A and B are shown apart, each in its own frame.
Chain A
Amino acid sequence: MRYLPLTADDRAAMLGVIGAASVDELFADVPGPARLDGPLDLPPHQGEWEVEKAFRALAGRNLSPSEVPSFLGAGAYRHHIPASVDHLIQRSEFLTSYTPYQPEIAQGTLQHLFEFQSQVALLTGMEVANASMYDGATSCAEAVLMAKRQTRRSRAILSGGLHPHYRDCTRTMAGFVDHGVEALPLDLDGSEDLAAHLGKDVACVVVQYPDVLGRVSDLTALAEAVHAAGALLIVAVTEIVALGALQPPGAMGADIVVAEGQSLGVPLSFGGPYVGLFATREKFLRQMPGRLCGETVDADGRRGYVLTLSAREQHIRREKATSNICTNAGLCALAFSIHLSLLGEAGYVRLAQINHGKAVQAAERLAAIPGVTLVNQGFFNEFTLKLPKDAAAVVEALAGKRILAGVPGARLWPENPAAANLLLVAVTELNDDGDVDALVAALAAEVK
């Protein structure tokens, strides 16, 4: 078998040194009834081309957004990934290396994590960032847990504009012990008043920017109200390219910024693996979860990098840890960093401008379809249309015509009838005029 180098002779020689007659002796501690006599009822081993054939068959039954007009967003975005990114992350020393616990032979990983932390802090306008978490949704949950620890208060208020997956993860993970997570309903007319929910037991308020429907609003006044009440403002960003065009949350008074970094460097991959970004103020550093990489010197006085402030983490603090998290998003954080390095400031800002420009043009054309209205005043590259009929049925019909029109409201808010006619449409630099033509024509036909 191609991955198993030991031969029968090797095994015999090794058993000889061990002094065992067979490998079965080495499993002697397994209780008799639990010992399996032979292989389980599973297919036998296969060569590469048989395995590849099976996966091509599975892939062939999926409609690929790379091949048809696609306007899907809702927290995961189709962007162009420069060829160098995938090439570089597949270098053996990045792909197959372990967590950098032996820093002398892991400066490659540690330095890229330090660069990553710096990039995340700059994008979000915050003072310090960690070395990544699983994804945006779990980062959001971790932020709420952190706010509760930091303020020693028990309630968290979640805006109705927060992505339902972020809301649900936060409820699950941060509302677990004290049930102190209150999620406001989807707010279609913009009348949500978060400040009205503040109180002496509120640890934090969580808003999304742009929100799940794509709306943008100035968070400065909210930040002031939240701080006046002794709470923390957590801002979630699901489309990190937006910060190339918009004021960063740090400039508006955010205390913690969590984000999904998938838009840079990370393929859509049916939802994972992605990369959670987490940034905060320096004064909250000790309560921040996740890995941290720090600069130091070695015995020869040369600059180098190490994982640091580990005493917050599970392998040392055990039951008193700030989180139980062990891995970070590793290779996905590297991909993010490489992509952003290739873009540079000029490229990142221009990419954001292209996304916004194309979205504005598409929104105008779509809103002109009779029966279709645009919910948003402002948006970055994603906006919400209100259709005259059930959006999920429209999306299904358009999928039959090989157009991926966007995410229908029922997919995110299945229990809310007011959401059923909503369609979330994302437009990126990869959508050309032909894509928009196709969508406009098909949508117009479908809602007539």
Chain B
Amino acid sequence: MLNRQGRATQPAVAPSTDPAADATFARAAGTILGHRGLDHEERLIFELGEDGRTGVDLPEPPKVESRLGGLARQGGIGLPGLAEPQVVRHFVRLSRRNYAIDLGLYPLGSCTMKHNPRLNEKVARLSGLGDIHPLQPQSTVQGALELIERLAGWIMTLTGMPAVAMSPAAGAHGELCGLMAIHAAHVAKGDARKRVLVPESAHGTNPATAALCGYVVDPVPATADGRIDLEAFRAKLGPDVAAVMLTNPNTCGLFERDVIAVAEGIHSVGGYFYCDGANFNAIVGRVRPGDLGIDAMHLNLHKTFSTPHGGGGPGSGPVVFSDALKDFAPLPFVRREGDAFRLVEDLREAPKSFGRMKGYHGQMGMFIRALAYMMSHGGDGLRQVAEDAVLAANYVMASLKDVMTPSFDGPCMHEALFDDRFLKDTGVTTLDFAKAMIDQGFHPMTMYFPLVVHGALLIEPTETESKDSIDRFVLVLRGLAEQAIACRDGGGDPAAFTEAPRLAPRRRLDETRAARTPVLRWKAPV
């Protein structure tokens, strides 16, 4: 029942003061406005703006008789007005309070935070690509349609699959796409099924997606060595199982050795194999998921294929399909017809398709960036990506296994999983350890995921870190681990962990308060 990893979400807060007052900032920083050197406090745009000012010069509107049908806006909106210099300064100051991959290593397991090439930004902004309208006559956008088809070709070659749906907007959207195609395939056979098998280690989007499609989620346990329990999986197979959703490599950073047996098992009962491709960075160019028996798999262009994370999005989640499922793929899709390219949007031309999932055609801006990335690396470079990613993670694992506790024996793939056994009796939790990393200049690794180990710490360095960068990261983790272990049985300096971070723009924030009394927008003071 209990998602047992509840943990402290409330720091001990200073005596009550106005949290937005200069005095509060001044006290914390020891300066008059709360600025500290190059780190500036910055208020909300609503607190900076004034009526009437604008940062955009616009001409007089034409004088016309209104055709708004009597629905002209009554009253003001409440938006602040600022001139351009104030707006620029506001957002520049905000930007400086963010960690970023351009700034430092992100060891986030399952996120694949690799370098975002700037060439990709340049080509995405070319006139004729960044500024074309989705509903222009197709004869006027043949270059755009060819670009999508070319990217689709790379994706199919890399995965060894015969078809790909390009329209899903993100990984989770791609999962939905895959499961909907599976659902449609079963319904087309007159055999709507009820259950989807999902490993306990799966990312939360997997069961959420299955439930959205009306399936009952049946969790499959893991073995002691972190892989899916094949016997348990086989025991759960039956004619009512629609699909299995497997991440490979899995969320523990391990390749599922029994993947082909899983494929055979699910196919033997007439079900389909959905593969979560979030960890494709470990195997790109070295393994084709099509050779493992999958029926559908989403890729995250913002993970393996370097499109920028942008503080949380946008992403793109194309889904490859096997022959069994490809007819059910969503609309629209690009079809080559001789030398021309056509976007198929009409259900009458693809009657088995389960329909449309998104406005227009997909995340074209991310397609451009991902294709530029693929072309830059080439087949040879992409294979090297996987090798270096796996090498880097194993190097981290090997460098730290004597002082931190790896959850599983043997080599990992592109991410190294540790758990909090090394922190036992220190009074330092995984959370405290992670926050201490911030003071050391690093974004924490993925923590408390996957749920199958306690206090998980999942580290994915990626292939775009130099050895020097990884060595310095390892140095910091080793140092912190040793400091934490020194806190065992009452020694050391636990405050360096429990009060961390002390050096970031903010100390730990009261997440309990944010949830108990939500304040989700600015309101003008009365």
Contact between chains at B375 and A54 (CB < 8 Å)? yes
Q: A3-B115, A111-B94, A302-B19 are in contact. Are A272 and B169 (CB under 8 A)?
A: yes
Q: Kindly provide the distance from the CB of A412 to the nearest chain B CB, expressed in whole angstroms.
A: 8
Bound-complex Cα distance A251 to B76 (A):
12
Contact between chains at B208 and A321 (CB < 8 Å)? yes
Q: Is A278 an interface residue (CB 8 A)?
A: no
Query: Which residues of B have CB within 8 Å of A154?
Result: none
Contact between chains at A31 and B80 (CB < 8 Å)? no
Contact between chains at B100 and A93 (CB < 8 Å)? yes
B56-95 to A contact mask, C-beta < 8 Å, 1/0: 1011011111111111111011111110100110111011
Q: Is B190 an interface residue (CB 8 A)?
A: no
Contact between chains at B391 and A11 (CB < 8 Å)? yes
Q: Is B252 an interface residue (CB 8 A)?
A: no
Contact between chains at A270 and B134 (CB < 8 Å)? yes
Bound-complex Cα distance A117 to B210 (A):
29
Bound-complex Cα distance A97 to B315 (A):
13
Contact between chains at A74 and B135 (CB < 8 Å)? yes
B380-392 to A contact mask, C-beta < 8 Å, 1/0: 1111110110111
Contact between chains at B134 and A271 (CB < 8 Å)? yes
Bound-complex Cα distance A114 to B523 (A):
11
B257-285 to A contact mask, C-beta < 8 Å, 1/0: 10110000000000000000000000101
Contact between chains at A106 and B204 (CB < 8 Å)? no
Contact between chains at B134 and A268 (CB < 8 Å)? yes
Q: Kindly provide the distance from the CB of A28 to the nearest chain B CB, expressed in whole angstroms.
A: 7
Query: Which residues of B have CB within 8 Å of A51?
Result: 119, 123, 372, 375-376
Q: How large is the interface on A (under 10, 10 to 19, 20 to 34, 35 or more residues)?
A: 35 or more
- Of A4, A72, A78, A168, the contact of B385 (CB 8 Å cutoff): A4
Query: Which residues of B have CB within 8 Å of A98?
Result: 99, 101, 106, 108, 111, 113, 309, 311-312, 443
Q: Is A306 an interface residue (CB 8 A)?
A: yes
Bound-complex Cα distance A96 to B118 (A):
11
A360-382 to B contact mask, C-beta < 8 Å, 1/0: 11010000000000001111100
Bound-complex Cα distance A62 to B127 (A):
9
Bound-complex Cα distance A40 to B15 (A):
63
Contact between chains at A308 and B122 (CB < 8 Å)? no
Bound-complex Cα distance A15 to B449 (A):
27
Q: Is A243 an interface residue (CB 8 A)?
A: yes
Q: Is B231 an interface residue (CB 8 A)?
A: no
Contact between chains at A296 and B143 (CB < 8 Å)? no
Binds A, one of B42-50, B318-326, B419-427: B42-50
> Which of B42, B73, B92, B183: most chain A Cβ within 10 A?
B73
Q: Is B173 an interface residue (CB 8 A)?
A: yes
- Of B67, B134, B170, B399, the contact of A76 (CB 8 Å cutoff): B134
Count of residues in B whose CB is under 8 Å from the partner chain: 220
- Interface on chain B toward A: helix, strand, loop, or mixed SS? loop
- Of B82, B92, B311, B511, the contact of A341 (CB 8 Å cutoff): B82
Q: A4-B384, A65-B131 are in contact. Are A109 and B311 (CB under 8 A)?
A: yes
Contact between chains at B520 and A117 (CB < 8 Å)? yes
Query: Which residues of A have CB within 8 Å of B287?
Result: 27, 30, 34-36
Contact between chains at B365 and A344 (CB < 8 Å)? no
Bound-complex Cα distance A297 to B504 (A):
14
Q: A14-B395, A176-B212, A345-B78 are in contact. Are A273 and B365 (CB under 8 A)?
A: yes
Contact between chains at B511 and A176 (CB < 8 Å)? no
Contact between chains at B19 and A303 (CB < 8 Å)? yes
A2-27 to B contact mask, C-beta < 8 Å, 1/0: 11111100110111011110010111
Query: Which residues of A have CB within 8 Å of B455?
Result: none
Q: Is A438 an interface residue (CB 8 A)?
A: no
Q: Kindly provide the distance from the CB of B526 to the nearest chain A CB, expressed in whole angstroms.
A: 16
Query: Which residues of A have CB within 8 Å of B494?
Result: none
Q: Is B394 an interface residue (CB 8 A)?
A: yes
Given contacts A108-B96, A345-B80, 5 further A-B contacts (CB under 8 A): A3-B117, A55-B372, A272-B314, A274-B359, A396-B137
- 6 smallest CB-CB distances across A and B, nearest first, come from A271-B360, A344-B81, A331-B310, A378-B69, A61-B143, A271-B134
Q: What are 29 sample pairs from A and B whose C-beta atoms fall under 8 A apart?
A: A10-B466, A26-B391, A34-B291, A44-B380, A58-B129, A58-B143, A65-B136, A84-B88, A94-B310, A105-B443, A107-B97, A117-B521, A121-B521, A169-B358, A173-B176, A244-B73, A268-B132, A269-B131, A270-B141, A273-B314, A304-B19, A308-B518, A314-B204, A326-B172, A343-B56, A345-B81, A356-B67, A396-B139, A399-B140
